[in-house]
Amino acid sequence: QVTSGGEADEKGEQEVLEFPWVVVDVETKEVTDEQSKLVKPSMHPTLTPECISSTGIAQESADGAEGLQGVVQEFNAVLYRSFTANNKDFCLVTWGEAPLKRWLRADAKRKGVKLVAHYSKFLDIRAEFRRQKPSVPTPATIGDMATHLGVELESEDVSGGLTACKGMAKVIAKMLQDGAKCSATVNIPEDFDPLSFPVSSLQVVASSARPGEPTEAQTVVKLRGLPYTANDIEVIEFFSGCAISAGGILFVTNPDGRNNGEAFVRFESREDYNNALKKDRERMQRRYVEVFGSTEADMEACRENIAKGHGGRVVGGVGGAQ
């Protein structure tokens, strides 16, 4: 969890406030460790009422916590003792890309905290769910995903912290039991700027559809792993046979205007959307491109960032690829 509200939000200086983790053994599907460490904010040490309400963390608890440097080092030590020293592999798993790609990375950069290699590779459980069930709307919450998979959670409060990690652990264990390979990891380039990650699109927008119920309006996909030189013509050719809406290609760029390898594409119909999802892991130039379901809200949030000068490029007047 991170701080929220007030000056931190205005300046985009949210700080890591809680650092929880749960370890799941892939072979036994059992939980072998669970811990949660509070992190003392230093840039904006006074928690806002909004932050206290949403996280359940009191000001006194935050004041008595260790700084980010110490907590990161402690987590590194846990990983070393549990895995590296025993020649075991591990992979970090998150709900969405924001925890590692934005929040931790940006906070560490501001505070001069070094993040070693294992923080640059992770599995996004939402993306893995989309890969396993491309025709199902992506659940908006851990609770929704658990319900869809038939997993019972101990608490309905899965909004953040250790409780959310426990819920994710049960979900990932069930996905492994159902045959998920969990091999589509996200790799963060060394030169990635965490501040280029669009803040306004970090929050998952809840859907009114029940798990497993298709929504007629779901026609937006997100591409990841595009060549940095990719253009609209190549995207149209990539989705040959799928009708793209006019102005329906939105490239995501860094503040300096360079493509960051991601884009949103809106299609004319649900059928075109479903066919587009089948293009996942096909090649553009020499790169394999990931294609997974997104939402109109996420696309519009990115478009808002463009208007604010936070990066992005709209390709207007693009017709359907037939």
Per-residue pLDDT reduced to its tens digit, 276-286? 988 988 889 88
Is residue 292 within 8 Å of residue 281, measured between CB atoms? Answer: no
Q: What is the mean pLDDT of residues 257-280?
A: 88
**What backbone torsions phi and psi does residue 21 show, to the nearest 5 degrees?**
-155, 150
Q: What is the torsion angle, in degrees rounded to the nearest 10, for the CA atoms of residue 134, residue 136, residue 140 and residue 144? A: -120
Q: Which of 74-83, 97-106, 196-205 has the highest mean pLDDT?
A: 74-83
What is the rounded CA–CA span in Å between residue 1 and residue 56?
10
For residue 8, the 8-state DSSP code is H
Q: Give residue-wise pLDDT tens across range 152-174.
A: 887 544 446 888 899 999 999 99
What radius of gyration do the chain's Cα atoms show? 20
Q: Please give the pLDDT value at position 310.
A: 55
Q: Name the residue ranges covered by the structural domains of the chain.
A: 6-201, 220-315
Which one, of 170, 197, 199, lies nearest residue 186 by Cα? 197
Which one, of 224, 294, 287, lies nearest residue 259 by Cα? 224
User: CATH homologous superfamily of domain 220-315?
Assistant: RRM (RNA recognition motif) domain (3.30.70.330)
Q: Which range, of 40-49, 260-269, 272-281, 309-318, averages the lowest pLDDT?
A: 309-318
Percent of the chain with pLDDT over 70: 85
Q: What is the mean pLDDT of residues 29-55?
A: 91
Which one, of 136, 154, 149, lies nearest residue 207 by Cα? 136
Q: Does domain 6-201 have CATH number 3.30.420.10?
A: yes
Q: Give residue-wise pLDDT tens across range 202-213.
A: 333 222 233 333
Q: Please give the pLDDT value at position 309.
A: 63
Q: Please give the pLDDT value at position 317.
A: 36
What is the rounded CA–CA span in Å between residue 259 and residue 313?
9
Q: What is the mean pLDDT of residues 62-74?
A: 97
Q: Please give the pLDDT value at position 254.
A: 75
Which one, of 65, 20, 58, 19, lies nearest residue 41 by Cα? 65
Q: Please give the pLDDT value at position 131.
A: 82
Which one, of 230, 268, 231, 264, lies nearest residue 246 by Cα? 268
pLDDT bucket at 197, cuts 50 / 70 / 90: low
What is the rounded CA–CA span in Å between residue 95 and residue 218?
21
Per-residue burial over 28-46, b if 16 or more Cβ lie within 10 Å, else e, is: eeeeeeeeebbbbbeebee
pLDDT bucket at 135, cuts 50 / 70 / 90: confident
